Structure 1
Amino acid sequence: MSQTHPLRVVVLISGSGSNLQALIDGQKQGELPVEIVAVISNRAAVRGLQRAEQAGIPALILDHTQYESREAFDEALQAQIDEYRPELVVLAGFMRILTPGFTRHYEGRMFNIHPSLLPKYQGLHTHQRVLDAGESEHGVTVHFVTPELDGGPPVIQARVPVLEGDTAETLAARVQQQEHSIYPLAVKWFAQGRLQMKSGKALLDNEPLGPQGYLMGTTQP
């Protein structure tokens, strides 16, 4: 059942914020029943902060280099996020490994997007690793965040073919197009009350999703 008010969302970024822009566009166009109440970056002077400011969204910087430990930074970040009382936290190119305490605090209400067909190619440099391995397809996964790096239950995946002559850059660009479609869709399902995490599994309309989540290319529910 969908809620009567827009879902309060905080978005965490580290860079250009193209997925943030897809969410902003969906909110503005009325396609996403959400209110992005803050954008927080661990790096200053990134394009994503400008995107937030241009949309009239509070844009904050919390520089991780100013903290003596990963735990200290995550504690400060958690306090900053919680000031905005979010119902969902969205990692949109947030390039930090999060501590278990932080991820447990937002368990079941934090998403990440990862440029691979999880559980394949967790971690960094996925596009080059896919090419080096001679894969015929690549893609992107939205998943709930758990303490395991890139290991939370998948919500939705989109696949793209690996074409002859692809470079890491051309492959990344094709994957990013899919990111901008599936991330807003996952957020929309959550805002509508259709998507949840229960007992370590992602459920859509109270039905468990498969080990790779909902696969784009089939009929959209």
Structure 2
Amino acid sequence: MYQFGWFSTGRGKGSRELFKTVLDGIASGQIKNARISYVFCSREPGESPETDRFIELVKNSGVPIVCFSYQKFKGDRPDNDVDEPLPEWRLQYDRHVMELLKDYNCDLCVLAGYMLIVGKEMCKKYNMLNLHPAAPGGPKGTWREVIWQLIDTKAKETGVMMHMVTPELDKGPVVSYCRFPINGRYFDAHWQAVEGMTADEIK
């Protein structure tokens, strides 16, 4: 049986829907001979109402869940720039995660709303697939960051992709992707409303 590890920060409805969709796909046989062997969440109960809903959903599904708070581990340390190498303390967080997960088996880890950059040691240990809200060569970062970059560049199209995780943010080998336009009847009025404005001005 093919086993998935599921990594998420559980920040919102999208994280819950992704998890439920895969569970339903396994139950219906659309995803054959597979199971989610565990979920790892980078928040703990009580940190966020949205994450608490995600944790409750996972527990109710019967899938084992392991939680380890990134924010508590981080403490007062500043966030590092996404284009800079991860500092030692950040790599240490990944090491703690790997220690917590050592008794679980998986063939592929799926990053579905996991809001942390994965360090090189974790990349070497696991096969990891990331869901990214932009097409190959498109903006990096979270879906919100991607949207602001698309607005700033007055993009005419965008996309989504699944790619293998490497230490370089959102630049691993592409597994699958699609592109779609963001102009035309459903978008033109929105573009006109922000014409001549930067993303910072809109914010």
Where on the TM-score scale, by shorter chain, does this alignment land: which range?
0.7 to 0.9
Q: After superposition, where does 1:132-147 map in structure 2 within 5 Å?
A: 132-147=152-167
CA distance in 1, matches of 2:55, 2:148: 28
Q: Which residue of 2 aligns with 1:12?
A: 7
Which residue in 1 is equivalent to 2:31?
A: 32
Residues 160-194 of structure 1, C-alpha deviation per residue, up to 9 Å, x if partnerless?
32122348xxxxxxxxxxxxxxxxxxxxxxxxxxx
Q: Secondary structure at the match of 2:26?
A: helix
Contact 2:135–2:159, Cα closer than 8 Å, also in 1: yes
Structure 1 counterpart SS, 2:188? coil
Answering whether residue 95 of structure 2 is matched by residue 71 of structure 1, we say no
1:94-120 CA-partner distances (Å, limit 9, x unpaired) = 0011211111212xx210011011221
What amino acid sits opposite 2:188 in the alignment? Answer: E
Partner of 1:176: none
1:43 aligned residue? 43
Note the aligned Cα RMSD (angstroms): 1.7
Distance 1:56 1:138, change over 3 A: same
Q: Tell me by how many angstroms 1:51 deviates.
A: 2.3
Contact kept in structure 1, 2:128 and 2:164, CA below 8 Å: yes
Q: Helix, strand or coil for the counterpart of 2:101?
A: helix
**Distance in 2 between the 1:166 and 1:127 partners?**
13
Letter in 1 for 2:133: P
SS at match of 2:23: helix
Alignment of 1:1-221 (within 5 A): 6-15=1-10, 16=12, 17=15, 18-33=17-32, 34-45=34-45, 46=51, 47-67=53-73, 69-106=89-126, 109-124=127-142, 125-162=145-182, 163-166=187-190
Q: 3-state SS of the aligned residue for 2:179?
A: strand
Cα deviation, 1:74-104, whole Å, max 9, x if unaligned, reads 0111122332111111101100112111112
Q: Give me the whole-angstrom Cα distance separating, in 2, the residues matched to 1:147 and 1:81.
A: 20
**Residue 64 of structure 2 aligns to which amino acid in structure 1?**
P
**73-82 vs 136-145, which moves further:** 73-82
TM-score, with normalisation over the residues of structure 2? 0.73
- 5+ long unaligned stretches in structure 1: 1-5, 168-221
Letter paired with 1:59? I
Structure 1 residues 21 and 165, CA gap change in structure 2 (3 angstroms) = farther
What residue ranges of structure 2 are gaps of 5+ in the alignment?
46-50, 75-88, 192-203
The amino acid across from 2:61 in the alignment is A
Conserved in 1, the CA contact under 8 Å of 2:8 and 2:41? yes
Number of aligned residues: 160
Secondary structure class of the residue paired with 1:102 = helix
Counterparts of 1:120 and 1:42, CA distance in 2: 26
Please give the alpha-carbon distance, in whole angstroms, between the structure 2 residues aligned to 1:64 and 1:135: 34
